Amino acid sequence: MRDGGAMTAWWRRRIADLWTVAGGWPGRIVTAGCMCIAFGYFLIVALMIYVGGTWARVVYAEWPYAHIAGGVAFALLAWVFARGYRESFAAWRKLGARILLGVVSLLLSFAMGEALLRISLLRTQKEQSLDRLRELRKQGRPLPVSSSHPLAYIIEPSDNGRDVYQLQPNLSLEFGHKTLRTNADGMRADHDYPVERLPNSVRIVGIGDSGMFGWNTEQGENYMAVLESLLKARSDGVTYEVLNLAVPGYNTQLEVEHLRAVGLKYQPDVVVLGWCVNDYQLPMFLIEQSTIKYASGSYLHKLLFDRAHFAEAVNGINFRDLRDYNPDNVAPELQHGAGVEGVREALYELREMGNEHSFSVLVFGPLKETEIALCREVGLPYFNTYDGIPSDSVPADWAVHFMHPRPEGHRVLAERLEGELLRYDWLAPYNKKSKPDKIADI
The amino acid present at 142, given as its one-letter code, is P
Q: Tell me, what's the pLDDT at 274? A: 97
Q: Is the pLDDT of residue 434 over 50?
A: no
pLDDT of 346 > 70? The answer is: yes
Residue 141, pLDDT > 60, answer yes
Q: What is the pLDDT of residue 43?
A: 87
pLDDT above 70 coverage of the chain, percent: 73
Top pLDDT among 230 and 116 is at 230
Q: Looking at residues 304-317, what average pLDDT do you find?
A: 68
Mean pLDDT for the chain overall:
82
Please give the pLDDT value at position 438.
40
- Please say if the pLDDT value at position 409 is more than 60: yes
Residue with the bigger pLDDT between 76 and 420: it is 420
Higher-pLDDT residue of 336, 174: 174
Of 6-10, 90-94, 204-208, 382-386, the least confident: 6-10
Report d(CA 285, CA 152) in Å as an integer.
8
Q: How much is the pLDDT for 432?
A: 43
339 or 135: which carries more pLDDT confidence?
A: 339
Q: What would the pLDDT profile of 43-68 be if each residue is shown by its tens digit?
A: 888 888 888 877 666 666 778 888 88
* Domains of the chain in sequence order: 4-123 (no CATH), 158-282+331-431 (3.40.50.1110), 285-327 (no CATH)
The per-residue pLDDT for 126 is 56
Q: What is the mean pLDDT of residues 59-88?
A: 78
Average pLDDT over residues 314-335: 58
> Which pLDDT band, with edges at 50, 70 and 90, does 143 fall under?
low
pTM listed for this prediction: 0.64
Query: How far apart, in whole angstroms, are the C-alpha atoms of residue 2 and residue 16?
Result: 19
251 or 336, which is more confident = 251
Q: What is the pLDDT of residue 439?
A: 42
- Say if residues 27 and 21 touch (Cβ distance below 8 Å): yes
Per-residue pLDDT, averaged over 24-44, amounts to: 81
pLDDT value of residue 222: 97
> How many other C-beta atoms lie within 10 A of the C-beta of residue 397?
9
279 or 144, greater pLDDT: 279
pLDDT greater than 70 at residue 186: yes
